[in-house]
């Protein structure tokens, strides 16, 4: 009897995932000056032993001003590299799961308060705020301070910052990279006509709006070794009239594929508070299906995918190649174990937990054995 598709291997360039469950990047707003803390040790530690096929680090800023909040994780200097190395070394001692870094710049959505303190923009003259930067001097929301418009030198600095963060990630042994071009952050701002109203070679036409995100992708792809997968996360629609839409997403995905992208991670929204989203189970999956059908890129689906049979159906029906879990796996860090039990598959668990295998599921954990006097 063949294994459920959710638990079959998936190859991304030279990296083979043990199954098709991916831990999505989830901001924790718990870093100090960009440096990972003991919270990250606990948080990533439990997700690393979840049985998922890939663990993605939260959005990792390429510079202090690239952070969404003052609590965001970063990888821009020796201090942030040392702090993240400490966490990853501890995780790898006990969990063989490959790690992906999501490399990010928040653009005009930077300088925000942490969500549990309201999440609103922090004024540039506040001790915990700074002046943001973006493709155009357009504020994200009415009443907010507009970003400083990036010039060519600024864009080179940011592109080099992405490459520098990628080099540090490679030094840390991180196996894959995801470029954050979704959720209204800087690269999405360049893509969307709602945020990008430039009149130079980086604004106006679709080709021009895609130019800078593609340059950033190329810079990161060049740093990561051959065989190490690099891809992008995108918002397939702005959910706003005259904004970025799925047809443009397909065009962007085709350009990424031509440049060596191993996959595409399809989300939606985030660039405008005017968005109107029809939320329901799997509400973003139709966009992933459209992109996959048009490009034949390995496609990662995300968004209110909470049940094992729901995830399996998405894969069986050819709507995506992998399932990315965020809130669902925070709520249930053993989601892959429970999914394997429900679907009749096997999953990897740390040997320290082998004894927890339910009595009626004697073959749930791979390689499990136990004896005592």
| Catalytic option among 29, 70, 94, 185 | 185
In the block, tokens 């803390």 appear at 37
How far is residue 291 from each of residues 155, 161, 203, 255, 295, measured CA to CA in Å? 28, 29, 23, 12, 6
Cα 299 from Cα 194, distance rounded (Å): 26
Cα 302 from Cα 34, distance rounded (Å): 27
**What are the two backbone dihedrals, phi and then psi, of residue 84, each rounded to the nearest 5 degrees?**
-70, -35
Reading the block at residue 177, the tokens are 């990279």
112 DSSP β-pair partners: 69, 121
- The kind and range of the H/E element at 264 are strand 264-267
**Is 185 a known active-site residue?**
yes
**What are the two backbone dihedrals, phi and then psi, of residue 322, each rounded to the nearest 5 degrees?**
-150, 160
Neighbouring C-beta atoms of residue 353, cutoff 10 Å: 13
Reading the block at residue 144, the tokens are 């907010």
Reading the block at residue 338, the tokens are 């429970």
Burial of residue 310 (number of CB atoms within 10 Å: 0-12, 13-18, 19+): middle
Catalytic (active-site) positions: 185
């Amino acid at each position: 009897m063949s294994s459920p598709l959710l638990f079959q291997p998936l190859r991304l360039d030279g990296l083979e995932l043990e199954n098709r469950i991916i831990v999505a990047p989830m901001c924790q707003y718990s870093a100090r000056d960009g440096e990972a803390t003991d919270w990250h040790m606990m948080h990533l530690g439990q997700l690393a032993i979840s049985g998922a096929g890939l663990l993605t680090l939260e959005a990792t800023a390429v510079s202090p001003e690239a952070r969404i909040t003052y609590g965001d994780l970063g990888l821009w200097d020796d201090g942030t590299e040392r702090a993240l190395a400490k966490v990853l070394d501890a995780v790898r001692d006990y969990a063989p799961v490959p790690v992906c870094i999501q490399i990010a710049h928040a653009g005009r959505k930077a300088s925000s308060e942490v969500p549990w303190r309201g999440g609103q923009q922090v004024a540039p003259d506040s001790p915990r705020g700074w002046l943001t930067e973006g493709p155009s001097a357009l504020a994200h929301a009415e009443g907010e301070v507009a970003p400083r418009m990036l010039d060519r030198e600024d864009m080179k600095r940011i592109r080099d910052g992405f490459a520098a963060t990628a080099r540090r990630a490679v030094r840390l042994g991180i196996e894959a990279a995801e470029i954050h071009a979704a959720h209204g952050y800087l690269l999405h701002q360049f893509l969307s006509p709602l945020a990008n109203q430039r009149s130079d070679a980086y604004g106006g036409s679709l080709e021009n709006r895609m130019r800078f995100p593609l340059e950033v992708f190329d810079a990161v792809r060049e740093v990561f070794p051959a065989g190490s997968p690099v891809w992008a996360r995108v918002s397939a629609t702005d959910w706003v009239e005259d904004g970025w839409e799925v047809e443009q997403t397909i065009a962007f995905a085709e350009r990424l594929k031509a440049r060596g992208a191993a996959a595409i991670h399809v989300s939606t929204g985030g660039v405008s508070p005017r968005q109107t989203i029809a939320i329901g189970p799997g509400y973003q999956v139709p966009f992933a299906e459209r992109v996959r059908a048009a490009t034949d890129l390995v496609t990662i689906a995300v968004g209110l995918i909470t049940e094992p049979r729901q995830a399996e159906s998405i894969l069986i029906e050819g709507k995506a190649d992998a399932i990315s879990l965020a809130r669902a796996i925070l709520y249930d860090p053993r989601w892959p174990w429970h999914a394997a039990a429900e679907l009749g598959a096997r999953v990897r668990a740390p040997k320290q937990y082998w004894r927890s295998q339910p009595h009626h599921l004697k073959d749930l954990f791979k390689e499990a054995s136990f004896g005592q006097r």
